Amino acid sequence: MIGIKILATGSCVPKKVVTNDDLAKLVDTSDEWITKRTGMKERRYVSGEEDQTYLAEKAAREAIERSGVAKEDINVVVVCTVSAEYYSPSAACLLQGRLGLKNDIIALDVGAGCSGFIFGLETIRALMIARNAKAGLIVGAEVLSRKMDMTDRSTCVLFGDGAAAAVLKLDDRPYTAVTGVDGDEEMIHIKVPTGFIHMDGQGTYKFAVATVPAVIEEVVKKAGLTYDDIDHFVLHQANLRIIESIAKKVDQPMDKFVVNIQKYGNTSAASVGLALDEAYKTGRIKEGDRILLCAFGAGRTWGAAII
């Protein structure tokens, strides 16, 4: 199977930091309540000139610069998001224009909720193979602060804004992925055109702790590996308790799980990419490491990939 290699990553988060204490001034909550239930301490909200396209562009430019890939070699652009500025044109088309990429490429959005980055990897890999692409650009970018009901204390404390990008090339290194969809519209949704995020917190927790370990087991078996063969687990940053529960179920130490939820909260399709980028920049993930990415989200969707 033709695989993919990540050449470089990039990220961008808004300047505005919103702490648990800040939220306690707006809604009936507290730092202790949020921290105990989620592991979150702060998150970022856009302000001023910042919007979804702004974050996506900044993250993409960093990834491209760090990769050493010429812009004219990027043949495919995939943006994973549920909070684009427009229904049409797509966020990917806007990003192509901002970056000044050539116009004989394919650029499209993937909307799979918090599973977006995994679905995006599968999508961009297939498109790169089909078009014999020299390089591809994937971006997860969300501005969920504008989709929250600030009177709903169980949900508004969870989400933040951010973007992460990766420049990819096709590679003969092993690559394995699994994805799935359950067609659910009640657990998590944002109704158009001006709806807020609605989430069944307990339902989401139960879904995650039941589904994610099974998906991890499936992708590891499909790859012909064991859990001990995985150097790093990079999971969707939805809730620290969920990540800890998954670590116990797969009997792996927490120090193999990348965690940055305390700084950014749940950034949906940007979540896996932000964690991956931070792990690269801090030197935690190194050349040749085997990484398992896994996420779950609205839809109900789930996916995992080993790269």
Active site residues: 114, 236, 266
Which residues fall within 8 angstroms of residue 81, CB to CB, at 6 or more apart? 52, 56, 91, 109, 110, 111, 116, 140, 141, 142, 268, 269
Q: Which two tokens stand for residue 146?
A: 């504008």
Residue 74 CA to residue 7 CA, distance in Å, equals 12
Residue 286 CA to residue 297 CA, distance in Å, equals 28
